[in-house]
Amino acid sequence: MRILVVEDEKKIASFIKRGLKEQGYAVDLAYTGDDGLFMALEDEYDLIVLDIMLPGKDGMFVCRQIRKKKKSVPILILTARDAVEDKVNGLDSGADDYLTKPFEFAEFLARVRALTRRSQGNLTTKLKIGDLELDQVTREVKRGGKKIDLTATEYALLEYLMLNAGHVVTRTMISEHVWNDSFDTFTNVINVYINYLRNKVDNGFDKKLIRSVRGRGYMISDEEDEK
């Protein structure tokens, strides 16, 4: 998996590169819009991470140019601006997703995973972790073949955890994706819902799938080893 990161802020570019490498991605860096555009058009990438505020040609322009050349590579835009119109402009210029700085790295990784998964076309409607199964079409959840009844919120939470199986999901990510809102007090709400989920999913099973990751958030995984 090869990712191009176009980001003029060298320090951000650096930790993105290191973080992605740790996850097993190959990463190329470009610090200006011109370099980024050149590299994006010359080489084949599975994903382009594009900052909007760039010296020379800006991110929007680069994005439009890439789309003009009919490159269907997924593009994730990074920006410090969070106004709705900025987001709309970014997406209108052909980007697939949008992330506001400062972002949580786990969130960033989740988006990268989602975009690369999408581009590879392996969109499965059934998610499976160990003996836990979730059908995105029928919204049915089973563990060990036994059906589990979940409320809409509990289902959305479990689905999000399973989409990011094996990876940490932070509370901020959960509140933004499941509740569509980022709000302080949701931290407590999330804790309560995680407890509901645990009661329904893990209660009575030896293997606990839903784990708390200290200081970070939650993770669903069937691997035994603790990180």
Partner 1 sequence: MKPYSIRFKATVFYSSILALILLVFGLSVLGYSYYILIKGLDKSLNVKAKEIAAIFNAYGKVVLYDSHPLAVILNVIDEYYFDSSAKAALNKLWTDQFSLLDLDKDYIVIVNSDKKPVLHSKDTPKFFYSENLSKFFFLDKIVHKIFYANKIFVRGINYPFDYNGSKLVVYVYTPMRAVLNVMMRLIVFVFVAIALIVVFTIYVGGIFAGQILRPVERLTDLAETISHKNLSLRIEEEAGDIEMQKLVDAFNDMINRLEKSFSYISDFSSNVAHELKTPLAVIKGELELAVENEEVSDETKNTLFSCLDEIERMERIINDLLLISKMENKPGFFHIEPINAKNFFNEICENANILAVPKKIKVAVNEIADDIIIYADKTHAKRLFLNIVANAIKFTGENGMVDIFFGYNKTGRLYVSVKDTGMGIKKDELDKIFKRFYRSDEARKYGGTGLGLSIALAVANAHGWKIDVNSEFGRGTEFVITL
State in angstroms the smallest separation of the CB of 87 from partner 1.
14
Sign of CA dihedral 199, 201, 206, 210: negative
What tokens appear for 106 in the block? 């786990």
User: Given the complex with partner 1, which of 72 and 199 has the nearer CB atom?
Assistant: 199
State in angstroms the smallest separation of the CB of 12 from partner 1.
5
**Adjacency order of strands within the sheet including 132-135:** 126-129, 132-135, 140-143, 146-148
State in angstroms the smallest separation of the CB of 104 from partner 1.
7
Please state the separation of Cα 124 from the chain's center in Å. 16
User: Given the complex with partner 1, which of 51 and 133 has the nearer CB atom?
Assistant: 51
State in angstroms the smallest separation of the CB of 72 from partner 1.
28
User: Given the complex with partner 1, which of 142 and 196 has the nearer CB atom?
Assistant: 196
Which alpha helices (H) appear in the chain, and where do they start and end? Answer: 10-22, 33-42, 59-68, 84-92, 105-120, 152-163, 171-178, 186-201
Chain contacts with partner 1 (rule: CB under 8 A): 9, 11-12, 15-16, 18-19, 22, 80-82, 101-106, 172, 181, 183-185, 188-189, 191-193, 214-216
Q: What is the Cα–Cα distance from 221 to 125, expressed in whole angstroms?
A: 18
User: Given the complex with partner 1, which of 9 and 46 has the nearer CB atom?
Assistant: 9
User: Given the complex with partner 1, which of 123 and 192 has the nearer CB atom?
Assistant: 192
State in angstroms the smallest separation of the CB of 67 from partner 1.
26
Look up tokens 């700085």; give the residue: 101
